Amino acid sequence: MGCSSSLPDRSSGQLAGLNSENGGVSDAKNLRVKLVLLGDSGVGKSCIVLRFVRGQFDPTSKVTVGASFLSQTIALQDSTTVKFEIWDTAGQERYAALAPLYYRGAAVAVVVYDITSPESFAKAQYWVKELQKHGNPDIVMALVGNKADLNEKREVPVQDGIDYAEKNGMFFIETSAKTADNINQLFEEIAKRLPRPASS
Amino acid sequence: MAELSFNLLHTLDPRRDAYGFALRPQHVQRYKEYAKIYKEEEGERSDKWKEFFERLVISDQPCSSDEEYKETLRVEATECKIETVLESEESDDSGGKKSISDGSKERDLEKEVHRSKETKTHEVQTWAQIRPSLGAIEIMMSSRILMSKDMIDEQKTISGDHLPSIEEAKSPGGASEEEFDGDVYVNATSDDNANATGTVTAEVDEVSPKNLFPLKEEVEFLVRGGVPKDLRGEVWQAFVGVKTRRVERYYQNLLAQEANDGEHKDHEDSSGVPKKWKRQIEKDIPRTFPGHPALDDNGRNSLRRLLLAYAQHNPSVGYCQAMNFFAGLLLLLMPEENAFWTLVGIIDDYFGGYYTEEMIESQVDQLVFEELMRERFPKLVNHLDYLGVQVAWISGPWFLSIFVNMLPWESVFRVWDVLLFEGNRVMLFRTALALMELYGPALVTTKDAGDAITLLQSLAGSTFDSSQLVLTACMGFLAVTEARLQELRTKHRPAVLVVVEERSKRGRVWKDSKGLASKLYSFKHDPVSLIEEKKSAEGGDNLELLNSLSVDSELGSLPDLQEQVVWLKVELCRLLEEKRAAVLRAEELETALMEMVKQDNRRELSARVELLEQELAELKQALADKREQETAMLQVLMRVEQEQRVTEDARISAEQDAAAQRYAVHVLQERYEKALASVAEMEKRVVIAESMLEATLQYESGQSKAHASPRSTRNQDTSTRKTGLLSFGLGWRDRNKGKPTDVKESNLSHSPNEGMDPSSSEKETKNEQKET
Give the tens place of pLDDT for each residue, B408-424: 999 999 999 999 999 99
Q: Do A140 and A82 meet the contact criterion of CB atoms below 8 Å apart?
A: no
| Minimum distance, in Å, between the CA of residue A9 and any CA atom of chain B | 15
Q: What is the mean pLDDT of residues B641-668?
A: 93
User: In this predicted model, what pLDDT tens digit does every residue of B533-542 receive, in sequence order?
Assistant: 444 444 444 4
Angstrom CA distances, B654 to B313, B643, B648, stand at 124, 16, 10
User: In this predicted model, what pLDDT tens digit does every residue of A170-189 receive, in sequence order?
Assistant: 999 999 999 999 999 999 99
| Minimum distance, in Å, between the CA of residue B518 and any CA atom of chain A | 14
B539 sits in which H/E element: none
Q: Mean pLDDT in chain A? A: 85
Query: pLDDT-derived band of residue B650, with 50, 70 and 90 as boundaries?
Result: very high
User: In this predicted model, what pLDDT tens digit does every residue of B735-746 receive, in sequence order?
Assistant: 555 444 444 444
Task: Say if residue A137 is exposed, middle or buried (CB neighbours under 10 Å; 0-12, 13-18, 19+).
Answer: exposed
Tell whether A65 is within 8 A of chain B (Cβ). yes
Return d(Cα B169, Cα B247) in angstroms, integer: 7
Lowest-confidence pick of A52-61, B272-281, B512-521: B512-521
Closest-approach residue (CA) in chain B for A66: B397
- The alpha carbons of chain B give a radius of gyration, in whole angstroms, of 64
Q: Which of B21, B276, B285, B287 to mutate to test the interface with A (most CBs of A within 10 A)?
A: B287
Return d(Cα A22, Cα A107) in angstroms, integer: 8
Return d(Cα A71, Cα A53) in angstroms, integer: 7
pLDDT winner (highest mean) among B206-210, B365-369, B616-620 = B365-369
B54 sits in which H/E element: helix B28-60
Decide if pLDDT at A29 tops 90: no
Give the single-character DSSP code of B185. T
Name chain B contacts of A20, Cβ cutoff 8 Å. 388
Q: Check CB contact under 8 Å for B397 and A65.
A: yes
**Chain pair A-B, CB pairs under 8 angstroms:** 115
Q: Do A141 and A109 meet the contact criterion of CB atoms below 8 Å apart?
A: yes
Q: Do B238 and B223 meet the contact criterion of CB atoms below 8 Å apart?
A: no
Lowest-confidence pick of B102-116, B129-143, B482-496, B685-699: B102-116
What pLDDT was estimated at residue B599? 72
Tell whether A81 is within 8 A of chain B (Cβ). no
Name chain A contacts of B391, Cβ cutoff 8 Å. none
Return d(Cα B162, Cα B437) in angstroms, integer: 39
Angstrom CA distances, B563 to B151, B159, B441, B575, stand at 23, 12, 59, 18
Name chain A contacts of B390, Cβ cutoff 8 Å. 18, 101
Tell whether A66 is within 8 A of chain B (Cβ). yes
What pLDDT was estimated at residue B751? 45
What pLDDT was estimated at residue B276? 85
Beta strands in B236-283 (DSSP E): none
Closest-approach residue (CA) in chain A for B391: A101
Q: What is the mean pLDDT of residues A136-151?
A: 94
Domain regions of chain B by residue span:
2-263+272-356, 360-511, 561-771
Q: Check CB contact under 8 Å for B321 and A95.
A: yes
Return d(Cα B256, Cα B620) in angstroms, integer: 93
What pLDDT was estimated at residue A174? 96
Q: Which of B314, B390, B496 to mutate to test the interface with A (most CBs of A within 10 A)?
A: B390
What pLDDT was estimated at residue B262? 65
Name chain B contacts of A87, Cβ cutoff 8 Å. 393
| Minimum distance, in Å, between the CA of residue B581 and any CA atom of chain A | 31
Q: Check CB contact under 8 Å for A97 and B396.
A: no
| Residue A38 main-chain phi, psi, to 5 deg | -130, 155
- Point out the residue among A20, A68, A101 whose CB comes nearest to the CB of B390: A101
Q: Is the dihedral of CA B730, B731, B734, B739 positive or negative?
A: negative
Other Cβ atoms within 10 Å of A148 Cβ, number:
21
A13 sits in which H/E element: none
What pLDDT was estimated at residue B56? 77
Nearest to A110 by CA among A73, A92, A80, A85: A85
Q: What is the mean pLDDT of residues B145-165?
A: 49
Query: pLDDT-derived band of residue B181, with 50, 70 and 90 as boundaries?
Result: very low
Query: pLDDT-derived band of residue B151, with 50, 70 and 90 as boundaries?
Result: low
| Minimum distance, in Å, between the CA of residue A16 and any CA atom of chain B | 10
Q: Check CB contact under 8 Å for A20 and B388.
A: yes
What pLDDT was estimated at residue B116? 45
Return d(Cα A123, Cα A144) in angstroms, integer: 12
What pLDDT was estimated at residue B717? 52
| Minimum distance, in Å, between the CA of residue A160 and any CA atom of chain B | 24
Q: Check CB contact under 8 Å for A62 and B405.
A: yes
Q: Decide which of B207 and B331 is more confident.
A: B331
pLDDT winner (highest mean) among B2-6, B332-336, B753-757 = B332-336
Task: Say if residue B614 is exposed, middle or buried (CB neighbours under 10 Å; 0-12, 13-18, 19+).
Answer: exposed
Paired residues of A31 in beta bridges: A25, A82
Decide if pLDDT at B757 tops 60: no
What pLDDT was estimated at residue B268? 45
Q: Do B427 and B418 meet the contact criterion of CB atoms below 8 Å apart?
A: yes
Name chain B contacts of A95, Cβ cutoff 8 Å. 321, 359
Q: Check CB contact under 8 Å for A26 and B448.
A: yes
Task: Say if residue B510 is exposed, middle or buried (CB neighbours under 10 Å; 0-12, 13-18, 19+).
Answer: middle
| B743-747: long-range contacts, CB 8 A cutoff, minimum separation 24 | B744/B676, B747/B679
Nearest to B515 by CA among B164, B261, B160, B268: B160
Q: What is the mean pLDDT of residues B242-249?
A: 86
What pLDDT was estimated at residue B580? 78
What pLDDT was estimated at residue B65? 42
Question: Class for domain A16-193, per CATH?
Answer: alpha beta
Return d(Cα B134, Cα B83) in angstroms, integer: 13
Closest-approach residue (CA) in chain B for A105: B388
Q: Check CB contact under 8 Å for A24 and B449.
A: yes
- What part of A 86-125 touches B (C-beta under 8 Å)? 87, 90-95, 97-98, 101-102, 105
Angstrom CA distances, B378 to B371, B437, B440, stand at 10, 12, 11
Return d(Cα B369, Cα B372) in angstroms, integer: 5
Q: What is the mean pLDDT of residues B547-556?
A: 42
Tally of residues, chain A: 200
Q: Do B388 and A18 meet the contact criterion of CB atoms below 8 Å apart?
A: yes
Beta strands A30-39; A108-114: pairing state: parallel
| Angle, CA of B172, B178 and B179, to the nearest 5° | 95
Measured in whole angstroms, the distance separating CA B394 from the mean position of its chain's CA atoms is 14
Q: What is the mean pLDDT of residues B229-236?
A: 90
| Minimum distance, in Å, between the CA of residue B347 and any CA atom of chain A | 15
Lowest-confidence pick of B111-125, B297-311, B404-418, B566-580: B111-125
Helix (H, G, I), strand (E, B) or coil at B173: helix
Beta strands A171-174; A140-146: pairing state: parallel
Name chain A contacts of B291, Cβ cutoff 8 Å. 60
User: In this predicted model, what pLDDT tens digit does every residue of B505-550 receive, in sequence order?
Assistant: 766 543 344 444 444 444 444 444 434 444 444 444 444 444 444 4
User: In this predicted model, what pLDDT tens digit does every residue of B50-90 receive, in sequence order?
Assistant: 888 888 777 655 544 444 444 443 334 333 333 433 333 33
What pLDDT was estimated at residue B454? 93
Burial B135-172 (b: 16+ CB within 10 A, else e): bbbbbbbbbbbbeebeebbbbbbbbbbbbbbbbbbbbb
CATH topology of domain B360-511: Cyclin A; domain 1 (1.10.472)
Helix (H, G, I), strand (E, B) or coil at A84: strand
Measured in whole angstroms, the distance separating CA B751 from the mean position of its chain's CA atoms is 123
Return d(Cα B749, Cα B612) in angstroms, integer: 96
Decide if pLDDT at B345 tops 90: yes
Return d(Cα B733, Cα B731) in angstroms, integer: 5
H helix and E strand count, chain B: 31, 2
Decide if pLDDT at B13 tops 60: yes
Q: SS in 3 state form for B468-520?
A: HHHHHHHHHCCCCCHHHHHHHHHHHHHHHHHHHHHHHHHCCCCCCHHHHHHHH
Query: pLDDT-derived band of residue B246, with 50, 70 and 90 as boundaries?
Result: confident
> How does DSSP assign A134-187, residue by residue?
HS-TT-EEEEEEE-GGGGGG--S-HHHHHHHHHHTT-EEEE-BTTTTBTHHHHH
What pLDDT was estimated at residue B703? 81
Helix (H, G, I), strand (E, B) or coil at A69: strand
Return d(Cα B439, Cα B460) in angstroms, integer: 8
Task: Say if residue A138 is exposed, middle or buried (CB neighbours under 10 Å; 0-12, 13-18, 19+).
Answer: middle
B315 sits in which H/E element: none
> How does DSSP assign B343-356, residue by residue?
HHIIIIIITTTTSS
| Residue A89 main-chain phi, psi, to 5 deg | -95, 165
Q: Check CB contact under 8 Å for B290 and A63.
A: no
Query: pLDDT-derived band of residue B12, with 50, 70 and 90 as boundaries?
Result: low
Q: What is the mean pLDDT of residues B567-576?
A: 78
In chain B, the percentage of residues whose pLDDT exceeds 90 is 36
Decide if pLDDT at B431 tops 50: yes
Q: Check CB contact under 8 Å for B457 and A71.
A: no
Other Cβ atoms within 10 Å of B513 Cβ, number:
16
Decide if pLDDT at B91 tops 70: no
Query: pLDDT-derived band of residue B243, with 50, 70 and 90 as boundaries?
Result: confident
Q: Check CB contact under 8 Å for B392 and A101.
A: yes
Q: Which of A65, A129, A132 to mutate to test the interface with B (most CBs of B within 10 A)?
A: A65
| Minimum distance, in Å, between the CA of residue B563 and any CA atom of chain A | 30
Q: Check CB contact under 8 Å for B405 and A98.
A: no
Query: pLDDT-derived band of residue B264, with 50, 70 and 90 as boundaries?
Result: low
- Point out the residue among B287, B363, B453 whose CB comes nearest to the CB of A63: B287
Decide if pLDDT at A2 tops 50: no
Domain regions of chain A by residue span:
16-193
Q: Do B518 and B145 meet the contact criterion of CB atoms below 8 Å apart?
A: no
- The alpha carbons of chain A give a radius of gyration, in whole angstroms, of 16
| Minimum distance, in Å, between the CA of residue A101 and any CA atom of chain B | 7
Q: Mean pLDDT in chain B? A: 73
Q: Decide which of A168 and B174 is more confident.
A: A168
Decide if pLDDT at A95 tops 60: yes
Nearest to A172 by CA among A115, A130, A93: A115
What pLDDT was estimated at residue B211? 56
Measured in whole angstroms, the distance separating CA B179 from the mean position of its chain's CA atoms is 59
Burial B669-699 (b: 16+ CB within 10 A, else e): eeeeeeeeeebeebeeebeeebeebbeebee
In chain A, the percentage of residues whose pLDDT exceeds 90 is 72
Q: Check CB contact under 8 Å for A60 and B287.
A: yes
> How does DSSP assign A111-141, residue by residue?
EEEETT-HHHHHHHHHHHHHHHHHS-TT-EE
Decide if pLDDT at B136 tops 90: no
